[in-house]
Structure 1
Amino acid sequence: MRSMLRAAVAIAGKPLVLSQVLTSAAGALATIFAAAFMDSQEFTRFALVNLLSVTTVGLVRSFLFQPALIRFRHDKAAHAPFSTAIVGAVLAGAVVAGGAVILGVGPWWESAVLFVGALFPILQDWLRYRAMSFDRRWDVALSDGIRLVSVALSPLILITRPDAVIYQSYLGLALAVPVVLMLIRLPRPRKVTPLREYIGPASLQLADFAIGQFNSTLPLLVLGALGSSALIGGVRFAQTLLGPLNLVFAASTTNLIADGATRGTYASTESLIHQGTRLARTLGLVAVGGVGVLVGVVAASGFELRGVANGPLVIGLTIVGAATLSSGWAGIHAIVMRLLGHQAIVTVGRACLVFASLSAFTIGYLLGGVDASLAAGFLTAAVVAPIAFIVPATVLYRRHRRGELSELGPAAAEAAQEEVELSEADSPVRGLPDDSAPGTI
């Protein structure tokens, strides 16, 4: 009881960790509610539509929002303006609606509703990253808390009509509340660096994310279209049960990016490498234990729901758990390399990882159908991820420490310093507290 209380106090003092707890809880509850109220076929339909929506948010984030925050490490005017966010939201809505049509979700009006609902997750994410750059981390937690409340109320929708499209649309439209609240609360940046100034790194991050979808998301969508399999639902529900592990990795990644961009204690290359390496090692050990315990408990208890049987769930937990802990452990090193400016190396590593896992998905399908494809693809990803990221990261860290590499070339470093000096006078982000300050993370 005391350890739980200490953990709660620690989370309460760290808004970005609290934010990830709330986000993970909202995603997990939404999937659990869907699995509890929908039959197996409808839950699979929801899993695919929800996966499509989540993927579009990740695509827009990787191209528009996250690159701006990473650039903020050297350029305090790096913000994504509203015009950029709304274009990203409209494109995301079109992708979700179009994808729903391809998947045969339903009539045209359902796709139209999905389009509108897909706008608000993008706008909420845009404001979350703006709040991080302004060091308004409690606003991020507040936004995600409102989202959790809306999900907690969602059984009222499912009781009346357990429909996948209606439920997914509700989950998106409910985010209009935190979007409006954050628009009111957050300051506007006085200067904005145009996206074209860092279009190269942004394009590499987009390519990294897009290529990465061949590793997990696209196979699920394609396999779902090729044939029905209970393991698809098992994999998606396994991803939900692994929410706490994903939460830890997501919170750590978000923190590392935000701290690397805004904290003085992460300003030196050596401190950034040290913090990232220690974090990756700790998370890897925690993840191994967490996945093992979860698989054992679910297998021993026979736990299942209406939409997901125990057998597919145990298999899903095993293969997804292996891929999750491996990619999360290696992913911390990928973030450190991005913060150090080695965007291309990360993207090449992602391409190698995807080539290996996609080959495994294909061979598995040809030899044993959908189930064999899923097992082969996820397990291959678990093996290849450390090779693709940790090996090159180790080499780069060694070269940085020997002085053979720097974060920026001399000319770029001088230009970045001038940008910082010019923008700090106009930016509300000044004198940011370090990690020892209360209420920071």
Structure 2
Amino acid sequence: MSRRGLAAVASVLDQAASSATNILVLVLAARLSTESGFADFSMVYVTFTVLLGLNMAYVGQSVVLENGAGLPPDEVRGRLGEVCRSAVGFTGAASVLAGAAVAAVGLALSGSAGPAFLALGLVLPLVLLQDGLRYCFSALRAPERALAADALRLVCVVAALAAQPSGASAGRLVLVWGLSALPALGLGLWLLRPYVRGARADLRPYVRRGHLGQRFVVEFAVGNGSSQLAVLGLGVFATPLAVGALRGATTLFGPLNVLFNSANSFGPPVLSRLGGKRATVRATGLLGVVLALLGAGWGAVLYALPERAGRQLLGDTWASASALLPATGAQYAVMGLGTCALLTLRVLAPKATLSLQVVFSLLSVGLLLGGYAAFGVAGAAWGLVAGSALKALAAWLRVARLPAATTRDSEPLSASAA
């Protein structure tokens, strides 16, 4: 296999390791906790997910777009080293500030959620730095190093959480989860050292107006962050048990997230070689049908699980999460279609995606909150289904309106599409 092929395999495996870590963390936390304890842990984990996404959008996306274009070949590595050292420095500084803010919230909160948020504030710099290293390795075309660090992260966090006693508090589980990132962080920094040795860090570009990450943050905020914050809002203004149930149900669909992310990562280069609109739409339409069938099928398999097997996965949370599996399965089915529609637009008309993300992500938040107000947790889950279905429908209608002669080169590639 060529070096490029090996790099692609390493990238997919790294994504799988990262997704497996998130899945197993939630599964183990659910098994070790009471239903209310897992609800507190889920509140913290949703907060971490939002902060992780913001860091990915603001720092990670701009790092992976760096390729040293316009520089002599012998200067490219030095430039990438500077970019990576700067990214690590900014992530470390920003995560310390964010961690202090989260810890302050934890001190102000009463009840069992307070210590859990305090623990997140203490370990936030470790987990954000460890995750951020993967973007440096991506820019350096060394995904096998990211895979090594993330695989170690997976092993350490599973071992650390599995050693905790049943009924452990959410604060203890968060602290153990965060501290278990230390070995992977150390390995990642050691693997990065040869590339950044002697490089100069410059944090000023990250705080200047017009930094590319500012656009990516907007897209994340309206595309993913808004729904995560809406779920978090259910825990603040309604009940944390709703967050635990929703988080437990979506955790079981983690394997499909690997497929969706892989389609977004490796789809554009493949599709760009197909030529015009007809060939591209044929390929993405077929992929969308396959992903939709997988989502519906996986939901049916999970719904058919005996209660004993379900409790082995999610502990006390299984009872509330299992009732949401039909809705979550339907959501992932329509998400498969929507993902491929947006993928088509990124290839053929990249400027068309932002408006769709803004309008229909906010609509999904409204449907989630409205569904909860009318029908409780089940209504919130079906509200997400309706929002995802409307976004998929609108995206495919936008694809249908593209001129038949549209190709990737007919419209300049935007920063968000890149």
Q: TM-score range by the shorter chain?
A: 0.7 to 0.9
> Any idea what the Cα deviations from partners look like across 1:288-336, whole Å, max 9, x if unmatched?
22222233233333333232244x3334223233333433543455467
User: Mapping of 1:44-63 within 5 angstroms?
Assistant: 44-63=39-58
* 1:224 aligned partner: 235
* 2:389 aligned partner: 383
**2:132 partner SS:** helix
8 Å contact 1:120–1:172 — kept in the other structure? Answer: yes
* 1:241 aligned partner: 252
Q: 2: CA distance between counterparts of 1:281 and 1:192?
A: 45
> Any idea what the Cα deviations from partners look like across 1:212-254, whole Å, max 9, x if unmatched?
3465312221112233375533321121110110111123334
8 Å contact 1:93–1:114 — kept in the other structure? Answer: yes
Name the count of aligned residue pairs.
390
CA displacement at 1:348 relative to structure 2: 2.0
Q: 2: CA distance between counterparts of 1:300 and 1:367?
A: 27
Judged with a 3 Å threshold, the aligned counterparts in structure 2 of structure 1 residues 171 and 11 are, in CA distance, closer, same or farther, namely farther
**2:210 partner SS:** helix
* 2:73 aligned partner: none
**Which of 300, 305, 328 is residue 301 of structure 1 equivalent to?**
305
Is 1:20 matched up with 2:15?
yes
8 Å contact 2:363–2:387 — kept in the other structure? Answer: yes
* 1:428 aligned partner: none
User: Mapping of 1:67-146 within 5 angstroms?
Assistant: 67-70=62-65, 72=67, 77=79, 79-80=83-84, 81=86, 82-94=88-100, 96-98=102-104, 100=106, 104=110, 106=112, 111-146=117-152
Letter in 2 for 1:307: D
Judged with a 3 Å threshold, the aligned counterparts in structure 2 of structure 1 residues 275 and 96 are, in CA distance, closer, same or farther, namely farther
Q: Cα RMSD over matched residues?
A: 3.8
Bigger relative CO (Cα 8 Å, ≥ 6 apart): 1
8 Å contact 1:45–1:164 — kept in the other structure? Answer: yes
Judged with a 3 Å threshold, the aligned counterparts in structure 2 of structure 1 residues 93 and 37 are, in CA distance, closer, same or farther, namely same
Letter in 2 for 1:146: L
Tell me, which stretches of 5 or more residues in structure 1 are unaligned?
1-9, 410-441
Judged with a 3 Å threshold, the aligned counterparts in structure 2 of structure 1 residues 277 and 124 are, in CA distance, closer, same or farther, namely farther
**1:199 partner SS:** coil
**Which of 171, 178, 187 is residue 172 of structure 1 equivalent to?**
178
> Any idea what the Cα deviations from partners look like across 1:229-288, whole Å, max 9, x if unmatched?
75533321121110110111123334458xx5xxxx88x686698997677445423332
Q: 2: CA distance between counterparts of 1:205 and 1:347?
A: 10
* 1:348 aligned partner: 355
CA displacement at 1:45 relative to structure 2: 0.8
Judged with a 3 Å threshold, the aligned counterparts in structure 2 of structure 1 residues 272 and 219 are, in CA distance, closer, same or farther, namely farther
* 2:324 aligned partner: 316
More divergent stretch after superposition (333-342 vs 322-331): 333-342
**2:239 partner SS:** coil
Letter in 1 for 2:326: T
Q: 2: CA distance between counterparts of 1:276 and 1:65?
A: 28
8 Å contact 1:114–1:169 — kept in the other structure? Answer: yes
More divergent stretch after superposition (204-213 vs 285-294): 285-294
Q: 2: CA distance between counterparts of 1:320 and 1:154?
A: 30
* 1:439 aligned partner: none
Q: 2: CA distance between counterparts of 1:275 and 1:158?
A: 52
Is 1:202 matched up with 2:213?
yes
Judged with a 3 Å threshold, the aligned counterparts in structure 2 of structure 1 residues 32 and 341 are, in CA distance, closer, same or farther, namely same
8 Å contact 2:153–2:181 — kept in the other structure? Answer: yes
* Identity among equivalent pairs (%): 21
* 1:419 aligned partner: none
Q: 1: CA distance between counterparts of 2:222 and 2:109?
A: 21
8 Å contact 2:26–2:251 — kept in the other structure? Answer: yes
Judged with a 3 Å threshold, the aligned counterparts in structure 2 of structure 1 residues 98 and 62 are, in CA distance, closer, same or farther, namely farther
8 Å contact 1:15–1:137 — kept in the other structure? Answer: yes
**1:158 partner SS:** coil
Letter in 2 for 1:249: F
Q: 2: CA distance between counterparts of 1:358 and 1:184?
A: 42
Q: TM-score, normalised by structure 1?
A: 0.75
* 1:292 aligned partner: 296
Letter in 2 for 1:327: M
**2:196 partner SS:** coil
Q: 2: CA distance between counterparts of 1:25 and 1:157?
A: 18
Judged with a 3 Å threshold, the aligned counterparts in structure 2 of structure 1 residues 151 and 238 are, in CA distance, closer, same or farther, namely same
Is 1:365 matched up with 2:372?
yes
